[in-house]
Homo-oligomer: A and B are copies of this chain.
Amino acid sequence: MKTFTMLEIGKTAIVEKPIPTPGPNEALVKTTASLICTSDVHTVKGALPVENGRTLGHESVGVIAALGSAVTGFTEGQRVAVNAVTPCFECSYCQRGFTSQCGGLLGGYKYTAQVDGNMAEYFLVPAARGNLAPIPDELSDDAAVYACDMLSTGLMGAEHAQIEIGDTVAIFAQGAVGLCATIGAKLRGAGRIIAVESRPERIALAQRFGADDIVDFTAGDPVAQIMDLTGGVGVDSSIEALGFPQTFEAALACLKAGGTLSNIGYHGENPAPLPLDLTAWGLGMGDKTIRTGLCTGGSDRMSRLFTLMTTGKVDPTVMTTHRFGFDDVEEAFVMMAEKRDNIVKPLITF
């Protein structure tokens, strides 16, 4: 089978590998559609220690090609999606509800990080009973694939922000995950959503998804702009969806006492410690909570995200700015890495 593989840091190729065989609790899925993620770009740059020859990708849907001997409740040929996080469900972390941290820190993120990813013609699914999410008939692969990471992570960003109905929320950066955090803030009942972004096409998407105010950070200090918009008071919750020290600092500084900063940006590109401004943090006593998280996995999560799409409450497909066949995946990857042509998400079909 063909796989999109990282040969070494900075180098990728389509590589032929044997189709794997599922173990007793696994499933084999034949891929129909995938999304390329900025995390793949980070990985190829060397941000994640991955052995050479690892298949990339963690946002894929397809049909069940084979089921392990102990996997019940599914049939071959069934359309399924699989979350980027594939927990075992049984370790102590999973039992406590931290399935993204399966087995330890960030351990639920297995594709590419620990085993071959799923940007390939076939891929394996561990703990298949809990990780295979049947796609409703009325939902297209193009839409369902957004549940694998973008919607699950972005909405988690809003869930962690502890938004109360009518709250004011600032969201820093409107890439695909930030846009999904905007969708999420609206879904949790935010009264006013302030999106920090400068690219016109992303601003347009943010407004479509529910942003009430746009703060363009190229037009002045975003914290000062947010303070102006809120009468000097600040926001109830802020969501960091970029992973830069400056946006993190701003997300803390614009936050009211008692508020929550929900971080979903990946801070792995810069190894220096993240500076926590003491005044913004209330000297460690301001009742400001800082939460973090990885993508929320499992079929139950996926199934609820599907419901939002089938009832028409969320339509993520407007983020699909580009489409490629699998043979052109390298071209798509380069575009994503270089953020060319106002790309948001490129969809790969098989």
Cα A159 to Cα B166 in complex, Å, equals 12
A79 at interface, CB cutoff 8 A: no
How many A residues are at the interface, by size bracket?
35 or more
Q: Are A283's CB and B266's CB within 8 A?
A: yes
Instruction: Tell whether A304 pairs with B167 under 8 Å between CB atoms, given A127-B90, A258-B98.
Output: yes
Q: Could you give, for residues 287-306 of chain A, a 1 whenever the CB lies within 8 Å of some chain B CB and a 0 otherwise? A: 11111111000111101111
Q: Are B166's CB and A308's CB within 8 A?
A: yes
Tell me the chain A residues, 72-100 only, with Cβ under 8 Å from chain B: 88-100
A311 at interface, CB cutoff 8 A: yes
A315 to chain B, nearest CB (A): 14
Residues in chain A within 8 A of chain B (CB atoms): 23-25, 69-70, 88-101, 104-107, 127, 129-130, 155, 159, 164-168, 184, 186-189, 191-192, 212, 240, 243, 248, 256-258, 263-268, 270-278, 281-294, 298-301, 303-308, 311, 313
Instruction: Tell whether A130 pairs with B276 under 8 Å between CB atoms, given A101-B287, A301-B95.
Output: no
Instruction: Tell whether A311 pairs with B192 under 8 Å between CB atoms, given A25-B70, A165-B184, A305-B166.
Output: yes
- Residues of the B chain whose Cβ atoms lie less than 8 Å from the Cβ of A313: 186, 191
Cα A284 to Cα B294 in complex, Å, equals 8
Please tell me which one of the listed residues B188, B283, B290, B299 contacts residue A188 in the complex, with CB atoms under 8 A apart.
B188
* 28 sample A-B contacts, Cβ–Cβ < 8 Å, listed by A number: A24-B69, A89-B94, A92-B303, A94-B130, A96-B164, A97-B258, A98-B258, A104-B257, A106-B283, A106-B285, A155-B189, A165-B188, A166-B307, A186-B313, A187-B188, A188-B188, A191-B307, A248-B284, A263-B284, A266-B285, A267-B283, A273-B277, A274-B275, A281-B292, A287-B292, A287-B293, A289-B289, A289-B290
